[in-house]
Amino acid sequence: QSVLTQPPSVSAAPGQKVTISCSGSSSNIGNNYVSWYQQLPGTAPKLLIYDNNKRPSGIPDRFSGSKSGTSATLGITGLQTGDEADYYCGTWDSSLSAGDVVFGGGTKLTVL
Amino acid sequence: QVQLQESGPGLVKPSETLSLTCAVSGYSISSGYYWGWIRQPPGKGLEWIGSIYHSGSTYYNPSLKSRVTISVDTSKNQFSLKLSSVTAADTAVYYCARHVGIAAAGNWFDPWGQGTLVTVSS
């Protein structure tokens, strides 16, 4: 059971737009920055978004991030078959005195 | 650019200690940032294990803290993970990564190593 809640799967056609939600609480998303990762089949996760909405160098602007209250959203426009992957959100959780890094359970994106 | 590479035994017996090392190239660990370990059981999601600063300061996942030790060797530009008393539930792909902005100061992992599968079995 993950601390952050993501839908298990989403799907859309090539060229379309999809959003992936990540729901948490005031102890994590509500008061901390969110990052997003893309994991292509058989590979290591790759950073897509940090600080809620910033893209690292080399990440196309088809990928976007936003946060509102205790939820965050990853948006992908102009879907390509190469975007088929698992997507994870992550953030810091301060519910315990020492703190903790928490991830969502992951969302599998299928490009139909 | 910064690159990370995990190494260590791919098979560990139950009740023994899992030991992995992450070699960093293209960046000096002594220059800053935290450096972390994350694992992923087969077919499951990501779980943070812990992170270390070049000074030796550490943060650990509270659920694993009693069994985890992360250390750093700045002379070799590498950091290591030890997980004691392993069981089959510790079977996973183990990744190392640079941990940027730990705690409330951002908090993200980039880049990641390619990962190494560790199986716990007799």
Token pair 């996760």 is found at A45
CB A50 within 8 A of CB B108: yes
Give the C-alpha distances (Å, rounded to integers) separating A81 from A13, A40, A64, B78.
9, 11, 18, 37
User: Distance of alpha carbon B108 from its chain centroid, rounded?
Assistant: 14
Please tell me whether residue A29 adopts helix, strand or coil conformation.
helix
Question: Which residues does residue A51 pair with via DSSP β-bridges, in sequence order?
Answer: none
- For the segment B77-103, what is each residue's pLDDT rounded down to a tens digit? 999 999 999 999 999 999 999 999 887
- Average confidence score pLDDT of chain B: 95
Segment B1-14 shows an average pLDDT of 97
Q: CA-nearest residue of chain B to A47? A: B110
φ, ψ of residue A12 in degrees (nearest 5):
-165, 165
Q: pLDDT by residue (tens digit) across A12-66?
A: 999 999 999 999 999 999 999 999 999 999 999 999 999 999 999 999 999 999 9
Residue B104 — pLDDT band, cuts 50, 70, 90?
A: low
pLDDT at A95: 84
Compute the radius of gyration of chain A from its Cα atoms.
14
What are the pLDDT digits (tens) for B51-72?
999 899 999 999 999 999 999 9
Q: What is the reported pLDDT for B87?
A: 98
CA distance B22 to B8: 9
% of residues, chain A, pLDDT over 70: 100
Tokens matching residue A99: 């703190």
Distance from CA of A3 to the nearest CA of B (A): 11
Is the pLDDT reported for residue B106 higher than 90?
Answer: no
Residue A102 C-alpha, separation from nearest chain B C-alpha, in angstroms: 7
B113 contact residues in A (CB cutoff 8 A): 44
- C-alpha atoms less than 13 angstroms from C-alpha of A11 in its C-beta half-sphere: 3
Shortest CB distance from B46 goes to which of A32, A43, A45? A45
User: Which site among B108, B109, B110 would you substitute to test the A interface, given the most A Cβ atoms closer than 10 Å to its Cβ?
Assistant: B108
The candidate with the shortest Cα–Cα distance to B70, out of B96, B92, B51, is B51
First to last CA, chain B: 39
Retrieve residue A86's tokens.
């698992």
Q: Which residues contact B119 (CB under 8 A, 6 or more apart)?
A: B10, B11, B12, B91
B122-A45-A100-A31 Cα dihedral, nearest 10 degrees: -160
